[in-house]
Structure 1
Amino acid sequence: MELTIYLAGEIHSNWRNELKEKAKSLQLPLHFVGPMENHDRSDLIGEEILGEQPNPIFRDEAASNINNLRTELLMKKSDLVIALFGEQYKQWNTAMDASAAISLNKPLILIRPEKLHHPLKELSNKANVTVETVNQALKVLSYIFDTE
């Protein structure tokens, strides 16, 4: 059995690659999908497809429609969602994706540092599992495949 996992969270750090490499080294049967990790392409995809927009608001709207379609499709096809809240970046998209996973009844692992416990307490309460590190999330994934 192979699981498809949607990796929600900021696209500026290396957390996805870290998780993928560790999962591969453990030989876990996992396939990963997620948002467009090329930030410029994500911001400009509306104009890339629809042409130049009249102002930044229209440019953002066009890109958001396409990015939301991508997220919805990939998340619906996923077996599980991992949402990482880091300490460095604003996490509006992560909160939206974690909420969407809950609405879609997708199992959710929330990764957040202890210092974000209070602002994320309601979301954490709705997640299936809340951990503080990528390594802890990986241990949860490993446990799914353990037989003893």
Structure 2
Amino acid sequence: MELVVYLAGQIHDDWRDELANKAKERNLPLVFVGPQTNHDESDDIGEVILGKQPGKLYRDDASAAINNLRTQVLLNKADVVVALFGEQYRQWNTAMDASMAIALNKPTIIIRPESLIHPLKELSNRANVTVETIDQALDVLAYIFK
């Protein structure tokens, strides 16, 4: 059995690579998908596909529509969602993806530092599991195969 895992969360560091490499070291049968991690490509995709937009609002709206479609398709294909909340960046996209996953009834693991317990309390309460580290999230995923 192989699981598709959607990795939701900020795109400004290599946490996805770290998780994927650790999963590979453990020989876990996981396939990873997630948001577009090329920030410029994500921001520009609306104009790339639809052409020049008349202003910033329309530019962002066009890109958001395409990115949201991509996210919805990949979340629907996912067996499990892992959403990482870090301390350094704004976490709107992570919260949106985690909320959408929960609304789609996707099993969801939230990774968040202790400092975010209070601001994420409602989301953590709705997720299946909340952990503090990537290794703990992998332990949860590994347990599925035992």
TM-score normalised by length of structure 2: 0.99
- Matched with 2:70 is 70
- Matched with 2:8 is 8
Percent identical among aligned pairs is 68
Residue 112 in structure 1 maps to residue 142 in structure 2: no
Q: Distance in 2 between matches of 1:15 and 1:136?
A: 14
2:99 is matched by which residue type in structure 1? S
- Matched with 1:31 is 31
1:83-122 aligned within 5 A: 83-122=83-122
Q: Distance in 2 between matches of 1:32 and 1:56?
A: 32
- Structure 1's consecutive aligned runs of 4 or more residues displaced over 2 angstroms after TM superposition are none
Q: How many residues align?
A: 146
Gaps of 5+ in 2: none
- Matched with 2:79 is 79
Q: Distance in 1 between matches of 2:62 and 2:103?
A: 24
CA deviations over 1:91-147 (Å, ceiling 9, x no partner): 00100111001100000000000000000000000000000011110111111112x
Give the CA deviation at 1:37. 0.5
